[in-house]
Amino acid sequence: MSAPAVAGEVLERLKHEFERRSAPFDYKPSALLSLLHAVQDAYGYVPPAGEAAVAEFLGVGANRVHEAVTFYTLYRQHPYGKYHVQVCRTLACDLCGGHDLVKALMDRFKVAPRTATADGLFSWETVECLGCCELAPALQINKEPFRGPLTAGDLGRILDDLAAKEKGNGHG
């Protein structure tokens, strides 16, 4: 889905969802984070027009909305790859080889964290904790179940399979 050009486009598309998500709140601006999630669910990230739409709907300043988007790492400010890989970086995962997974991602993709590859298929980042230390080192791709324990070789095979799947679907 392409990025909306103006807040009005976002409001038109998401008005009912904004109303539904803000209904439980006596103080409408309390729905800020929920509405940002609605925008991200619809567009894959929170574009500037999405920020403006949330500010307009809630009757709050644009800076307040932008501060939330930039403070919380769960909000994306630009599109990620179709497959977004999150590698746990906490102690258990790091001690069990999480750093090897990160190095494999950096070597393979040659893009900064939270940046899509040129073909738009992959992006990656480290995250503070996935909450599954028993799988260390663990990762998650999109909203799929956690995977682990993994080696860099295991990760390479997973990524190869995803790339091959996309090539078979006419991408690449």
In this predicted structure, the answer to whether residue 1 has a pLDDT above a threshold of 60 is no
What pairs with residue 88 in β-bridges?
127
Q: Are residues 66 and 87 in the same domain?
A: no
Angle of helix 48-58 versus helix 32-43 axis, rounded to 10: 150
Q: Are residues 37 and 102 in the same domain?
A: no
Q: Edge-to-edge strands of the sheet including 83-88?
A: 122-127, 83-88, 139-141
Q: Are residues 91 and 151 in the same domain?
A: yes
The tally of domains found in the chain comes to: 2
pLDDT tens-place string over residues 11-40: 999 999 999 999 999 999 999 999 999 999
Mean pLDDT on 113-141: 94
What is the phi-psi region of residue 75: left when phi exceeds 0, alpha when psi lies from -120 to 50, beta otherwise? beta
Task: Answer with the one of 22, 50, 71 that is the final residue of a domain.
Answer: 71
Q: Are residues 162 and 109 in the same domain?
A: yes
pTM score of the predicted model: 0.78
- Contacts made by residues 109-116, CB under 8 angstroms, sequence distance 24+: 114/76, 114/78, 114/80, 115/78, 116/78, 116/79, 116/80, 116/81
Q: Are residues 54 and 88 in the same domain?
A: no
Q: Enumerate the H helices of the chain as residue ranges.
A: 7-22, 32-43, 48-58, 62-71, 91-93, 99-109, 152-168
Tell me, what CATH number does 144's domain have? 3.40.30.10
pLDDT tens-place string over residues 40-95: 999 999 999 999 999 999 999 999 999 999 999 889 999 999 999 999 999 999 99
Q: Are residues 57 and 11 in the same domain?
A: yes
Residue 25 inside a domain? The answer is yes
Q: Are residues 99 and 58 in the same domain?
A: no
Which range marks the domain in which residue 27 is found?
A: 7-71
Q: Are residues 12 and 67 in the same domain?
A: yes
